[in-house]
Amino acid sequence: MADFLYQLLLTFDGTLRIATPLMLCAMAGILSERSGIVDISLEGKLLSGAFVAAAVTALVGNAWAGLFCAMLAGVLMSLIHGFACITHRGDQVVSGVAINILASGITVVIGIALFRRGGQTPSLPREDRFTPIEWFGVGAMDAVPVLGTIYRQLISGHNLLVYVALIAVPLTAFLLYRTRFGLRLRAVGEVPEAVDSAGVSVAWLRYRALIIGGALCGIAGAYLSIAQGGNFVRDMSAGKGYIALAAVIFGNWRPLSAFLACLMFGFLEAGTSRLQGVDLPLVGELNQTLMLALPYVLTVLLLAGFIGKPRPPAAIGKPYIK
Amino acid sequence: MSILLITHKLAEIMEITDTVSIMRQGRMVGHRETAQTNPAELAELMVGRKVLLEVDRTPAQPTEIRFSAIGLGYTNAQGVVELEDINFEVRAGEILGVAGVSGNGQTQLMEVLAGMRPLTAGQVQILGTHVTAATATDPKTIRNLGLGHIPEDRHTHGLVLTFEARENMILGFHDSVLTGGGALMDQGTIQENAETKMQGYDVRPGNPRLAAKNFSGGNQQKIVIAREFSANPGVLLVGQPTRGVDVGAIEFIHKELLALRDAGCAILLVSVELDEIMALSDRIMVLCDGKNMGIIDASDADRQGLGLMMAGQRLEAAA
Amino acid sequence: MSAGTAPPLPRWADIVLLPLINLAIAFIICGVIVAILGENPFQALAVMFNGAFVFPGGLGYTLYYTTNLVFTGLAVATAFHAAKFNIGGEGQAYVAGLGTAIVAFTLGALPGIIVIPLAVLGAAALGALWGVVPGYLQAYRGSHIVITTIMFNFIAASVMVYLLAGPLLQPGQQSPQTSPLPGSSHLPKLHELGLPLDASPLNASFLIALLALVAFWVLIWRTRLGYAIRTVGQNPEAAHYAGINVPRTIVLTMAIAGGFAGLLATNEILGVSQKVVLNFTAGYGFTGIAVALMGRNHPLGIFLAALLFGALYQGGAELDFEFQSITRDMVLLIQGMIILFSGALAYMFNPPLARLIARLSPRREAAYG
């Protein structure tokens, strides 16, 4: 029993690690899409963030500088997206595709030019990364059965960016539902005409949503390359931006629900890798590659209305023309 | 306060303005004190020639019933009843006008009759074929029964604005003889079809390769009308035939509509312009809140009586 | 907005000049990046050009890449005509690999004249299937096709990894791939057919691609289905009014789109690798988006754009040998820039260009009142 509990705890721990970049990107996606801008470029922003974080940290030897520049990189990508879709009313999906391909190209091109390692960045020494933080009293809590283990494994012992992601969720919710900015942001994704006629700039609201989202994606990228991992490898975002987008849809464009969707997707992945080779009653051995497709399958089923009915923002994808 | 009112409704001009300037083809062609002018003069300035505002119309010679509805009802996907117990019949050679304040079920009625929305109660008879909620209805089947349809909104339904005029001339007929009988659509046939019809209905400019969006409102409407009229429909639905159309084209469209009637077509005419309904119809049905307030002979109709019915009084009470 | 005040762009400028300007901007930005990285952009361009067209076999490789991109470009363009964004070309092509394998392994004993056409059809059929499902979900269940096709790319990837590493794995093989397909299903290479060409992977699929371009043109502009597809794309409500079955047209469109994408498997598998390997689609599905956008969804434009990208792929490979700081990955960057400028920012230069042309050209009468 204790072993089972320990296994479960390790799975939850893995869930959190996997879900962290998803949560940050999902919050970015919610902000962008609630303002009316389709954001399939989460993937590209995440990838750019990961590269810039690792490259800057490798060059200057400071993880904080890496994190900061990663956020800037995410914002820069957002600004390109905004320039195309908001200022020039271009197709939001096309722009997103462009940014994703651009990101996967430019990260490798610059990476090779800078480091000559086939697109990878050098491995960072431990002290240059965001390392797990041990909370106070972990040693003392060890004496307490069950709770001590939970405290050590689940609550303590993550790197800073995991906690940042966990805080980003309520902050996004607060921003959306409790501030004037959030009210206008939600309105601009539903009826931009109304916001415009109230004398508030539709374009600037959407730009701000994209900028905040870009910064969040940058943090998520930094998590991949200088916190969870210790360097950048080509295409290391590996579809996480798209899973985050799936979580946004799954969460019906609401921060808390999207957070739960991220945890669910994270749990599916953490669970299957932990259950590898285990013969389960009724289902037999789970196939890991097929299980990895589950978030996508679930999202397809959800979108088709087989599990509940998603309700996207009304004005999403439509360029605003005065 | 100074108010600038831009409209093509002459009655509005006469009623509320003090002075009026008339534009034609991007140029100011005249300025008048409203009190010193009259609708006929304004209309003449607008089109550059005298226009017959009164429609010259001979009495209808209706024959057999070609088009009817019994207990027609439509409930939309959200469960809202939008049409209830509509009964009418239209004979060959007559125009049944449908009057009503905009948004009282006219659009739904037109679209249900055209097969664009599903009938949910009652039945419709088109040239001898019965259509009920049980028989699957779609616009293609209905069209093949011999029903023509000038939709209320030419930009939404009647035309594909980015298509060339000749492609719009086969909208709804792309698998008919108008595109040739072969496996591929015959470009020569399509071109010829458009040329003939654009000439016959005086569409300007008469260039079949020009995109529909580049024509004026009146000429766009003429494209729709040319297409639907020349199919020689036994039954015709006409919605807002002259909305956003210049005065010259209005006159032309009205004439063509009456000619089609006299050729034996059964016509159902929906318009928010009461004057248009009264000028063209032989009988008038009034819709209010999706219900039929009654059908009266056009010769017995006056604005006041129709107005009361449009406001929700049934015929018996209004009379 | 400024767009409203600008005069309309003449047709030649819209079709030729504007795309060229957009392309030039994309190249100039990439050139600046190359310069920043410390290499000479003109030299890089020359190396790429020589690699793509001049060096022995270069042209063959270029046309081999072009073949793939014609197929995926058509997959995107077909859907675009119905105003649907098919991001799923990658997954459709990937799954189509199964179609070639199933036909080749089950009918491999028959002569090539029978097996090859059936294997080609098999590829198209599975590609079509992978397009039909998102099409159906969009048309009848209202799911957004962009999201669904993205998800289907990932689902395809998982399913193929599972099959190639499991049920279809070549016995005794470590890397996930099938056994070699029977020889009867192999498409002949063009240089083996006595054509005066250097050895290259260019094979009979190139001819299929040319046929596909013609078929696409006939479909879209000469058939009743094509008319229906374009009507649905330009004005679905008018299509409904006209008696066109809109949902069914969308499903058919996606079937055809998926079928085009599926043909990529004929080039890659029947023509070159002769077995199904992991990730043989290598991003061609996404490049197809750039091809369709640049080619303005017209077969001639698609061919030219596919040729351009084919040359970039092949020429880009030369960069690896000639330069220290830039590699073939540069091509991804160029591709991203082209999608950005030819797609998302396609009309950025429209108003200034239109004003310039209007100023330079002699005054003409306003055409229509």
Q: What is the pLDDT of residues C185-228, one digit of tens each?
A: 899 998 888 777 888 999 999 999 999 999 999 999 999 999 99
Instruction: Give the single-character DSSP code of B211.
Output: B
Residue A283's pLDDT is 66
Within 8 A of C243 by CB-CB distance, chain B residues are 115, 138-141, 143, 172
Flag whether residue B30 sits within 8 Å of chain C, measured between CB atoms: no
pLDDT for B47 equals: 64
- Tell me whether residues B179 and C240 touch, CB distance under 8 A: no
User: pLDDT at position C367, please?
Assistant: 43
User: C33 or A283, which is more confident?
Assistant: C33
B161: contact with C, CB 8 A cutoff: yes
Give C2's pLDDT tier (boundaries 50, 70, 90).
very low
CA distances from C57 to B205, B253, C44, C202, C284 (A): 55, 67, 19, 9, 21
Q: What are phi and psi of B294, to 5 degrees?
A: 135, 160
Strand partners, B69: B88, B124
- What is chain C's mean pLDDT, rounded? 91
DSSP category for residue B213: G
In the DSSP assignment, the letter for residue B103 is: T
Compare CB distances from C222 to B149, B161, B185 and report the shortest one's residue: B185
- Going by C-alpha positions, the residue among B208, B199, B253 that lies closest to residue B229 is B253
Query: How many angstroms from the chain centroid is the CA of residue A217?
Result: 6
C339: nearest CB among A98, A299, A321: A98
Contact assessment for residue C202 and residue C61, using Cβ atoms and an 8 Å cutoff: yes
Peptide bond into B205 cis (omega under 30): yes
Hey, what are B300's tokens? 């017995």
Q: How many CA atoms lie within 13 A of A207 on its CB side?
A: 14
Instruction: Mark which residues 244-263 of A lie under 8 Å from C by CB.
Output: 245-246, 249
Interatomic CA distance for residues C4 and B209, integer angstroms: 24
Let me know: does C134 contact C148? Beta carbons within 8 Å: yes
Contact B25 C369 (CB under 8 A): yes
Give the pLDDT of residue C366.
44
Residues paired with residue B297 on neighbouring β-strands, in sequence order: B283
Whether the predicted pLDDT of C365 surpasses 70: no
B211 phi/psi in degrees, rounded to 5: -65, 145
Rounded to two decimals, the ipTM of the complex is 0.88
Contact C237 B156 (CB under 8 A): yes
Q: How many helices (H) and strands (E) does chain A have?
A: 14, 2
pLDDT in tens, C317-362: 888 888 888 888 888 999 899 999 988 888 888 888 888 888 887 6
pLDDT computed for residue C5 by the predictor:
52
Chain C positions in Cβ-Cβ contact with residue A82 (cut-off 8 Å): none
C 208-247: CB under 8 A from B? 218, 222-224, 227-228, 230-231, 234-235, 237-238, 240-245
- Confidence bin at A6 (pLDDT 50/70/90): confident
Nearest residue on chain C to A83, judged by CA atoms? C345
- What does the pLDDT read at residue C14? 80
User: How far is it, in rounded angstroms, from Cα C211 to Cα C121?
Assistant: 14
- Beta strands per DSSP E along C140-298: none
Q: pLDDT-derived band of residue A311, with 50, 70 and 90 as boundaries?
A: confident
Question: Does residue C238 register a pLDDT over 80?
Answer: yes
- Whole-model pTM: value is 0.90
* Segment B51-60, tens digit of pLDDT: 556 677 888 8
A56-65, A187-196, A266-275: least confidently modelled range: A266-275
Mean pLDDT by 10 residues, chain B (319 residues): 81 87 79 86 69 72 93 94 95 94 92 94 94 87 94 95 96 91 92 95 93 93 95 94 86 92 95 87 94 92 84 70
The answer to whether A94 contacts chain C (CB < 8 Å) is yes
SS (H, E, C) B172-188: CCCCCHHHCCCCCCCHH
Q: Is C87 on the interface with A (CB under 8 A)?
A: yes
User: pLDDT-based confidence at A1, cuts 50/70/90?
Assistant: low
Chain C residues 233-272 with a CB less than 8 Å from chain A: none
Q: Is residue B256 within 8 Å of residue B197, measured between CB atoms?
A: no
Q: What is the pLDDT of residue C27?
A: 92
